[in-house]
Amino acid sequence: MKVGVVTFHSAHNYGASLQAWALQKVLKNLGTEPGVIHYHPEIIDKLYVAPKLDTTKKKLKYLLKKEYRSRIQTQVYKNKRYSKFIREKFHLIGDYKTYEELLNANLSLDAYITGSDQVWNSDHTGGFDPAYTLDFAKPGAKKISYAASVGREYILPQYREQFRQSLESYTSISVREASSKPGIEALTDKPVEVVLDPTLLLERKDYEELKKPGKFKGRYILVYMMESNKELVQFANRLSVAIGLPIIQRKLPGVFRNELGSYYEDTAAEFLGEIENAEYVLTNSFHATVFSLIYEKPFISMLHTSTGARTSDLLKSVGLESHLLYHIGDFHDMNQFDIEDVEALRQRIRELRESSIDFLKRALDKK
């Protein structure tokens, strides 16, 4: 069975890369021939194009500043490394920059999967993009959503009818967040299941083939700030002073007071090494939370303002809501970082993993 996945695989983002890689691996483990359909529209690509040095007279004075040149060079270097990572780690099908190119490709696959990540979040796709609802798939093929995320609790009103029509031809539907299930159910008479993000379908040992050693030695706090958050910065700085550990972080250097360094140039492979060696993790990223669970790291999650439901839903599903920090004034004890019952966490993830893989088997008729 040949299976093509449409997702945000081309984003230079650890979570996007790792969920796509994990789903590809799981599908291969299930006996299919998986590939990632290389659909990368401009709205995604332009987020990761490094700016060119501006040599106009207006900007000439900045060229004399070493910091300005260094930042541009760092971005160029990172993008080259990440593009190479994507080419090497995914079985890419085709190369499509527009929906019209994808539609005219006449792909002949046995099954098409959209998901995971926020593929049904119109803020990310620039409105309704029929590629992410598999409207290009050939009649008769299986159309599956696996852990598709809306990023909020509902589809925006202006896109509901388009989603309703697209979902009519789906053979199996699942979402990642329990909070978005009612909103999707309102658009279809088909059953909608809640499943795990693909990254949690694999065990820690499965990531060994991908993981590379991190570049930081010694003990450190890993901060993954997906969305800029003054409270998170303030809390991280206080934490660093209180426990005497430096910070590593994913943005360009200079955000925190006591930085050991930045892992801005890392690909997803090195990121796994950094998080494995961290003493503590502080984040407002969904996937940094996921890998804190996988590597069983002491962690605190603060919610992203627009897409925080995915993190809170996940932590509620594994019984770790206590690791959510809504306001820094609510933090009183370092024990809030600790995973008190590791075996209970492992067991709960195993249960959710089994039911999620069962969904995939049924969707692919692999039971």
Please report, rounded to a whole number, the percentage of residues in the chain having pLDDT higher than 90.
83
Distance of alpha carbon 128 from alpha carbon 156, whole angstroms: 10
**For all residues of the chain together, what is the average pLDDT?**
93
pLDDT in tens, 291-340: 999 999 999 999 888 777 889 999 999 999 999 999 999 998 999 999 99
Reported confidence tier of residue 262, pLDDT bands at 50, 70, 90? very high
Dihedrals phi, psi of 2, to nearest 5 degrees = -95, 125
Each domain of the chain, given as residue ranges in start order, spans 2-47+88-202+351-364, 207-295+299-338
SS3 content of the chain, % helix, strand, coil (to 5): 45, 15, 40
pLDDT at position 63 is 53
pLDDT in tens, 43-91: 998 876 655 555 555 555 555 566 666 777 888 889 999 999 999 999 9
φ/ψ bin of 229: left (φ > 0), alpha (ψ from -120 to 50), beta (otherwise)? beta
pLDDT at position 56 is 56
Burial of residue 79, with CB atoms counted within 10 A of its CB: 0-12 exposed, 13-18 middle, 19 or more buried: middle
Residue pair 315/324 in contact by the 8 Å Cβ criterion = yes
Burial of residue 338, with CB atoms counted within 10 A of its CB: 0-12 exposed, 13-18 middle, 19 or more buried: middle
pLDDT at position 69 is 67
pLDDT of 239 > 90? The answer is: yes
Which tokens is 153 given?
Answer: 């609790």
Helix runs in the chain, H state only: 14-29, 42-45, 60-63, 66-89, 99-104, 122-125, 160-167, 181-185, 230-243, 268-276, 286-294, 309-317, 342-364
Which tokens is 341 given?
Answer: 């019952």
Tell me the mean pLDDT in the region 222-236.
Answer: 95
Task: Indicate whether this model's pTM tops 0.75.
Answer: yes
pLDDT of 366 > 60? The answer is: yes
Residue pair 221/244 in contact by the 8 Å Cβ criterion = no
Going by the DSSP 8-state scheme, the letter that residue 8 receives in this structure is S
Tell me the mean pLDDT in the region 109-137.
Answer: 96
CATH superfamily of 207-295+299-338: Glycogen Phosphorylase B; (3.40.50.2000)
pLDDT of 282 > 80? The answer is: yes
Q: Is the bond leading into 322 cis (omega within 30 degrees of zero)?
A: no
Fold of 2-47+88-202+351-364: Rossmann fold (3.40.50)
